[in-house]
């Protein structure tokens, strides 16, 4: 669509007779046709017209003037007076597509070139760049224009038929068109010595109601078409209102108020003033005086030839003279205050329109350049965000995607130094597993179950130093029930068969060991399941990142299934290995780390004996504890403590390796010593086995599941996708087929970019 600027009067000869004109400023032209205006300003109008040719008005708000009005509001007569041509006439709605008039002053003879401007295809889809199609040869006789326009409109309304058939054939006026209205438009390029440098677009008249010759669908289509123009901030609205109809009943006025409520860009035109019922003329004067429905650019009143005048062959010069005579000699128009005379007559309206459009173009062009640059960059960025379009080698493209995915999968498996990545998520679960295994340790108590004072017993300090879980032991206390020394002794006695007195079978230790090992399978299975789920989530996200935007999603879906199946197999292998490792532990106690086991047994035996003897002989226990706390410091009497003396004495006879804890062994034999030995054996072996399992189970899961998923994954994908088959090309083409939504978005953005870049080149060509 083109800028809507209105043309200069068809004849300058009677402009001096129009009230409100300024003879001192009459230089042979008005508005943009004024020779005193800079050639640069006139070139800007041509530039805006060329921008309209590109169709970029869909994306950018271009300056234009739109002529709107209700049916029979006098739009056609007004346009005829401005352009000097005759438009098709018919009852009801005649204009069914926009008609653009580009008027330019020229020293050459009068000429009219008719073109069809298509901004949508036959299906109504927006074209990338507007298509301009000439409609016949240039016209040099004004009388031929009306028929050419009529034929052009029928070509617009029948998009599936050839344009030439409407240009050359006999138009069947009774044949129903394919579409009632169209956004594609007719462009008239009119030039001549009596034509002003202006342009405008005439829009279909708004249909008042179904009873006025329309249907609900047509009413809505016309209103939508008009709205698409007048809703833009740079559109000057030329509102035509027929004086023969009540003002409030004219829908065009109400629609204009909706989109220009303050009247800043609306110019009102009263038509058919000669049809005002006698005595009601005064009702329209408040509009001319801008007292009613005020507009920033005021209301104007024009009188055009009647249908009877046209039938009688009135000339345009005669029509202009009659209009001037009407306002000069007819009341109340001739009596209106001189300051409002400038709002009467077509010549004054055109002069005002010319200046408004001129100023608007001057103001908007620098902004249009910025908006175009911004819109071009935005369109390019939006295209970059879309997936790559299908390539000519889909097999290579799919292969590249698979290799890229496998590379990123390897990085994920090896570990990415960032929070919430796979290994960072797995590590807390591994720590929980270790604590759960640690908490299955048998809670041996070196006291009879009936003893009341056990408050001094606690886990040995050497465990916290070695396990590094002091806080964890407090936060997650063992859930195992205490096992008292008398219970251990009862089990040992019950297990005796042919052993000598004081000897008990090893099966007692094995039974305790079996009990805590039987509790390890569940935490190990839970850890495996957790790692499987975490791995599945991260791999699924990785698949989405690599494949979700490729094709219609079939490749992503297929890869997800293949990888999940492969992962499930690896999880089953991992679970089998876990079960095997646990079963190895359950087969019986075993370790080659004899020194480690013996050291722990000695520590636990000393811990249990010390606690038990502390209960049996509190004085000795207290002395040993004080010695361990204060060392060889002197007591309050200045004498060395008893423990210190004993240790010195034992050292003097050669027992130099004895420490304070060993003094408890000098006490009389405890009948529970066999039970203490069993407890120490079991607890020492737990430390050996627990640390072994706490490492081996997570290691097995990492090896078989986490790292295992990366093994042969490329082979699995190639085989599962059929890329090694003879149908690989067909399969990859199907995978690469772009989704309709993405293809549609790409087409839309490409068309928009094409329009914007073409418009941008037009601006650069003229150096604006």
Q: Please tell me the predicted confidence (pLDDT) of residue 640.
A: 55
Q: Please tell me the predicted confidence (pLDDT) of residue 222.
A: 87
Where residue 202 sits, what CATH number does that domain have? 3.40.50.300
Same domain, 576 and 710: yes
Where residue 534 sits, what CATH number does that domain have? 1.20.120.1240
Same domain, 547 and 578: yes
Decide if 343 contacts 300 (C-beta within 8 A).
yes
Mean pLDDT of 328-355: 89
Residue 366's CB is within 10 A of a number of other CB atoms, namely 10
**Which residue segment(s) compose the domain that 698 sits in?**
397-429+485-617+672-733
Same domain, 232 and 262: yes
Same domain, 229 and 286: yes
Decide if 708 contacts 573 (C-beta within 8 A).
yes
**Angle at the Cα of 307 (from 305 to 309), degrees rounded to 5?**
55
Q: Examine residue 605 and state whether it is found in any structural domain, yes or no.
A: yes
How large a percentage of the chain has pLDDT more than 70? 85
Each residue's pLDDT tens digit, 169-180:
765 566 788 888
pLDDT value at 136 more than 70: yes
Q: Please tell me the predicted confidence (pLDDT) of residue 696.
A: 96
Q: Examine residue 567 and state whether it is found in any structural domain, yes or no.
A: yes
Task: Tell me whether strands 111-120 and 185-192 are parallel, antiparallel or unpaired.
Answer: antiparallel
Q: Examine residue 448 and state whether it is found in any structural domain, yes or no.
A: no
Same domain, 589 and 628: no
Same domain, 216 and 146: yes
Q: Examine residue 6 and state whether it is found in any structural domain, yes or no.
A: no
Same domain, 218 and 348: yes
> Which stretch of 52-66, 226-240, 333-347 has the lowest confidence by average pLDDT?
52-66
Same domain, 196 and 243: yes
Q: Examine residue 748 and state whether it is found in any structural domain, yes or no.
A: no
Residue 539's CB is within 10 A of a number of other CB atoms, namely 24
Q: Examine residue 313 and state whether it is found in any structural domain, yes or no.
A: yes
Cα within 13 Å of Cα(25), Cβ side: 10
Q: Examine residue 697 and state whether it is found in any structural domain, yes or no.
A: yes
Mean pLDDT of 189-196: 81
Same domain, 232 and 282: yes
Same domain, 413 and 369: no
Q: Examine residue 455 and state whether it is found in any structural domain, yes or no.
A: no
Q: Helix or strand or coil: residue 299?
A: strand
Q: Please tell me the predicted confidence (pLDDT) of residue 550.
A: 86
pLDDT value at 366 more than 80: yes
Element (H, E) at 443: strand 443-445
Same domain, 417 and 288: no
**Domains: count for the chain:** 3
CA distances from 233 to 8, 364, 414 (A): 24, 11, 58
Q: Please tell me the predicted confidence (pLDDT) of residue 137.
A: 92
Q: Please tell me the predicted confidence (pLDDT) of residue 358.
A: 82
How large a percentage of the chain has pLDDT more than 90? 40
Region of 568 (left: φ > 0; alpha: ψ -120 to 50; beta: rest) is alpha
Same domain, 524 and 636: no
Q: Please tell me the predicted confidence (pLDDT) of residue 685.
A: 96
Q: Please tell me the predicted confidence (pLDDT) of residue 638.
A: 43
């Amino acid at each position: 669509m083109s800028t809507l600027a209105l043309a200069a009067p068809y004849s300058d000869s009677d402009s001096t007779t129009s009230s409100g004109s300024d003879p001192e400023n009459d230089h042979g032209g008005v508005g943009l046709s004024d020779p005193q205006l800079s050639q640069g300003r006139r070139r800007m109008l041509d530039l805006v017209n060329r921008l309209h040719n590109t169709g970029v008005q869909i994306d950018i708000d271009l300056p234009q003037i739109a002529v709107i009005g209700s049916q029979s509001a006098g739009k056609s007569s007004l346009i005829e007076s401005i352009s000097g041509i005759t438009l098709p006439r018919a009852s009801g709605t005649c204009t069914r597509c926009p008609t653009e008039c580009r008027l330019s002053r020229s020293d050459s003879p009068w000429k009219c070139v008719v073109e069809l401007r298509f901004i949508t295809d036959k299906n109504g889809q927006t074209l990338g760049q507007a298509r301009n199609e000439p409609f016949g040869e240039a016209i040099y006789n004004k009388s031929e224009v009306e028929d050419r326009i009529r034929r052009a409109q029928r070509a617009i309304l029948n998009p599936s038929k050839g344009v030439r058939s409407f240009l050359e054939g006999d138009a069947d006026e009774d044949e129903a068109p394919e579409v009632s209205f169209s956004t594609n438009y007719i462009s008239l390029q009119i030039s001549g010595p009596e034509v002003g440098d202006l342009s405008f677009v005439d829009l279909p008249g708004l249909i008042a109601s179904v009873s006025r010759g329309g249907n609900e669908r047509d009413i809505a289509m016309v209103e939508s078409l008009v709205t698409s123009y007048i809703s833009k901030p740079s559109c000057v609205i030329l509102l035509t209102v027929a004086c023969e109809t009540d003002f409030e009943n004219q829908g065009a006025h109400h629609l204009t108020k909706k989109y220009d409520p303050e009247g800043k860009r609306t110019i009102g035109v009263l038509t058919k003033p000669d049809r005002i019922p006698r005595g009601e003329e005064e009702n329209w004067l408040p509009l001319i005086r801008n007292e009613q429905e005020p507009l920033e650019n005021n209301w104007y009143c024009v009188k055009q030839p009647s249908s009877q005048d046209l039938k009688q062959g009135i000339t345009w010069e005669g029509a202009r003279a009659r209009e001037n005579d009407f306002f000069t000699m007819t009341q109340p128009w001739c009596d209106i205050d001189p300051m409002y005379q400038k709002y009467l007559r077509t010549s004054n309206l055109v002069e005002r329109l010319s200046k408004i459009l001129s100023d608007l173009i001057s103001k908007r062009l620098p902004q249009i350049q910025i908006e175009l640059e911004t819109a071009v960059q935005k369109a390019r960025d939006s295209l970059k965000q879309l997936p790559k379009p299908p390539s000519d080698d889909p097999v290579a493209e799919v292969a590249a995607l698979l290799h890229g995915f496998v590379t990123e999968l390897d990085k994920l498996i090896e570990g990415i130094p960032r929070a919430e990545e796979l290994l960072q998520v797995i590590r807390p679960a591994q720590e929980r597993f270790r604590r759960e295994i640690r908490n299955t340790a048998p809670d041996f108590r070196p006291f009879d179950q009936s003893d009341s004072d056990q408050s001094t017993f606690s886990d040995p300090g050497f465990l916290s130093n070695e396990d590094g879980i002091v806080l964890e032991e407090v936060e997650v206390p063992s859930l195992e029930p205490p096992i008292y020394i008398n219970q251990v002794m009862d089990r040992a006695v019950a297990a005796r068969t042919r052993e000598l007195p004081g000897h008990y079978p090893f099966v007692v230790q094995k039974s305790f060991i079996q009990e805590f090992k039987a509790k390890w399978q569940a935490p190990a299975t839970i850890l495996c399941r957790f790692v499987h789920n975490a791995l599945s989530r991260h791999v699924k996200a990785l698949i989405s990142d690599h494949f979700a935007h490729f094709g219609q999603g079939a490749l992503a879906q297929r890869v997800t299934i293949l990888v999940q199946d492969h992962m499930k197999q690896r999880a089953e292998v991992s679970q089998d290995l876990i079960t095997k490792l646990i079963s190895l532990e359950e087969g019986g106690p075993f370790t080659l780390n004899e020194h480690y086991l013996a050291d722990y047994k000695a520590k636990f035996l000393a811990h249990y004996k010390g606690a038990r003897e502390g209960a049996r002989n509190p004085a000795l226990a207290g002395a040993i504890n004080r010695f361990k706390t204060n060392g060889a410091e002197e007591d309050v009497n200045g004498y060395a403590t008893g423990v210190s003396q004993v240790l010195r004495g034992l050292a003097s006879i050669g027992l130099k390796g004895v420490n304070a804890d060993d003094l408890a062994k000098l006490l009389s034999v405890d009948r529970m010593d066999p039970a203490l030995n069993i407890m120490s054996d079991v607890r020492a072996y737990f430390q050996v086995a627990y640390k072994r399992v706490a490492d081996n189970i997570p290691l097995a899961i990492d090896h078989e599941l986490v790292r295992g998923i990366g093994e042969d994954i490329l082979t699995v994908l190639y085989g599962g996708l059929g890329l090694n088959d003879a149908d690989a090309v067909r399969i990859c083409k199907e995978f690469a087929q772009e989704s309709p939504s993405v293809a549609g978005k790409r087409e839309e953005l490409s068309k928009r970019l094409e329009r914007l870049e073409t418009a941008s080149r037009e601006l650069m060509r003229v150096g604006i």
